[in-house]
Chains A and B, each alone.
Chain A
Amino acid sequence: AIWMTQSPSLLSASTGDRVTISCRMSQGISSYLAWYQQKPGKAPELLIYAASTLQSGVPSRFSGSGSGTDFTLTISCLQSEDFATYYCQQYYSFPRTFGQGTKVEIK
């Protein structure tokens, strides 16, 4: 299985901040990486796929980059509704695996 390491696990930030979350893979996965946002008590929602393609309806302040083993999710100007937990997920090989999550909390 491909393992991923997300960092940081917890990120304290303020509204308006630029934040970045990292996802490092145990082996190369080309661009077969997705990012999800999960709010408390809710199901995850797909934000980005193919490492950098925004899912329809996702605000442009979200962006993704990277390929191979190192990937980044960036929120350019944090809004109140962005405080949530973010997960990366690889779909290069089976089993599909998720990162352990990064909680973005209010500073």
Chain B
Amino acid sequence: EVQLVESGGGLVQPGGSLRLSCAASGFTFSPYWMHWVRQAPGKGLVWVSRINSDGSSTSYADSVKGRFTISRDNARNTLYLQMNSLRTEDTAVYYCARVIEAADYWGQGTLVTVSS
């Protein structure tokens, strides 16, 4: 069974940092591109970032570029999102997703709250 399990969310002050993890199991992780998507409370889905299969290519939404870094460890079957200089508007549930043509499997999400 394909599983994606996010962790690392929590409460952080503005300007702080967090690292999210997404542990993959039930499939061969290394060939797949992986994405992060977030959803602020009561709002819609917002695409955040993506990484290719070997980690050599990444892309970011303008709203997080220069502050967030996506990475992966194929040996550990884990995806990461390093989030620095956090702002109140980064408060959201963060989902990781496996992508072929589209995001066919999603994690359950981890809540990040940025507040003083």
Q: Do the two chains belong together in a single complex?
A: no
Seen from chain A, the residues whose Cβ lies within 8 Å of a Cβ on chain B are none
